[in-house]
Amino acid sequence: MRVFTIFIALGFIVMSCKSTVDINTYFKKIPQTNVSKDKIENAESFIKMYLETCSIENSEATFTNRFVTYNEKYGEILCKGINNRNGKIVTINFEELRGDGHSYLIYRFKVKFENIDKISEVRVSEKFTGEYETIIVRNEWSDILKSSNKF
């Protein structure tokens, strides 16, 4: 009985250590044929506008309160830092859409910045309500979706 109790206790410890969710399993690829071209163009336009102006004030897009609050506190400083480091967008190409099936869509773009030799990733997450929740800039593209701090 004691061995059985230890085995169960170890099982709970192992399960609790494995509490992180694999982002690639959670956010599944959505075929491009299921993607509205307008939605992709809107996400691309938002990325270009935001990284050029570091503002959401003149955007036609809608945003979650969380995005607006975060942007008011940190957006301009972070955006200008990224622009100083990366330079302007040279090319931007839609690569894939991922979704969790009930709350979020993630639009992933391959982006070439003028000061970065490698292809970068810029992604925008959108709630199913149509509001943008995050914009994330990674200085290196990866075919697998990687977790990232939000910006």
Q: Is the dihedral of CA 127, 37, 60, 138 positive or negative?
A: positive
Q: What CATH class does 22-138 carry?
A: alpha beta
Residue 144's nearest CA partner among 22, 18, 20, 17 is 22
The reported pLDDT for the residue numbered 63 is 93
Question: How many residues are present in the chain?
Answer: 151
Q: What is the pLDDT of residues 30-49, one digit of tens each?
A: 888 888 899 999 999 999 99
* Cα–Cα dist 114/103, whole Å: 34
Q: Are 97 and 128 in contact (CB under 8 A)?
A: no
Going from N- to C-terminal start, the domains of the chain cover 22-138
Check if the beta carbon of residue 76 is closer than 8 Å to that of residue 151: no
Residue 124 and residue 53 in contact, taking contact as beta carbons nearer than 8 Å: no
pLDDT of residue 135: 93
What mean pLDDT do residues 90-95 have?
A: 97
Q: Name which residue leads in pLDDT, 120 or 150.
A: 120
